A = this chain, B = another copy of it.
Amino acid sequence: MRRLCIHTITNKPWSVEECIARYSAAGIGGITMWRYNLEGRDIRAVGRQTREAGMKIVSLCRGGFFPAATAEGRQKGIDDNRLAIEQAHELGTNLIVLVCGAAPGQPLTESRKQIADGIAAVLAEATAAGVRLAIEPLHPMYADDRSAVNTLRQANEICDALGSPEVLGIAADVYHIWWDPELKSQIAHTGKAGRLFALHICDWRTPTIDLLNDRGLMGEGCIPIRQISDWVDAAGFDGFREVEIFSNRLWAMDQAEYLGMIRTSYQRIFAEC
């Protein structure tokens, strides 16, 4: 369980306090917090409480959403990312995951340019706060309104175009990239470039009945999770394996029972790691 981390959204019915208590009691080493969890909270206190419970805050989810049809909209995106950097700093995590965004109807090339511009605009703040930014390529089925960055290759190209700042890297989520014919080589390339910052895991169910909220628990689908994780490790990554599952079906379950299932399925896949 040393490398197991859970995203709080995975157990959406739980408050952040309940996530901290339950994960800690279950011997889970890492937690990634979603920003909705922090609303109305003393963020520094949440950070302290998590560390006192013996857990590392692996990252804050999420920044990004840079593209917009208007300059005003794009500035709003940049401001929100500055806020996220502040929040990450207060929370005591050194990583923010970026879901880069897309503006429906706007050419993807334009959205990609706006994403690079938006990231460039917040790099100084990120560096000053000691907070790294991880571009998360999203599955092409989200290219309309969630991310115009849909492959590891594209994420790497943005990092290159911005001069490969140390603070900028990539989050690899098996759900989004498992189908990519370049997956193995791009993972190796990302690691070699020193920018493989995070690994998210879940599974792809057949059939998938909802584009957003029908992800599977590891083992319920067709993603070769262990193989991808091994490629990621071979690329030099030794961080947490973060379970991030959006699922109406699993959110409707008893969450304590579900947490047990997460541990069991993780152990089944990574037994000897």
Contact = CB atoms under 8 A, between A and B. Distances in A.
Contact of A204 (B144, B207, B222, B224): B144
Given A154-B181, A181-B150, A222-B105, A206 B144 contact: yes
A139 interface: yes
B211 A108 contact: no
A104 to B, nearest CB: 5
A130 interface: no
A208 B211 contact: yes
Contacts of A180: 140
A258 to B, nearest CB: 23
A141 B104 contact: no
Interface string A207-221: 111010000000001
A181 B158 CA distance: 13
A148 B144 CA distance: 22
Report the interface size class on chain A.
20 to 34
Contact of A139 (B107, B108, B141): B141
A153 B151 CA distance: 14
Q: Secondary structure of the A side of the interface?
A: loop
A206 B145 contact: yes
Contacts of A107: 224
Contacts of A206: 104, 144-145
Interface in A130-182: 139-141, 143-145, 150-151, 153-154, 178-181
A213 to B, nearest CB: 12
B179 A222 contact: no
Given A108-B179, A140-B141, A144-B221, 13 more contacts: A105-B222, A108-B181, A139-B140, A140-B140, A141-B141, A141-B211, A144-B204, A145-B206, A145-B207, A150-B179, A150-B181, A151-B181, A153-B181
14 contacts: A104-B206, A105-B222, A107-B224, A140-B140, A140-B179, A140-B180, A141-B208, A143-B178, A144-B204, A144-B208, A144-B221, A145-B206, A145-B207, A150-B179
Nearest 3 pairs of A and B residues by beta carbon: A143-B179, A140-B179, A141-B141
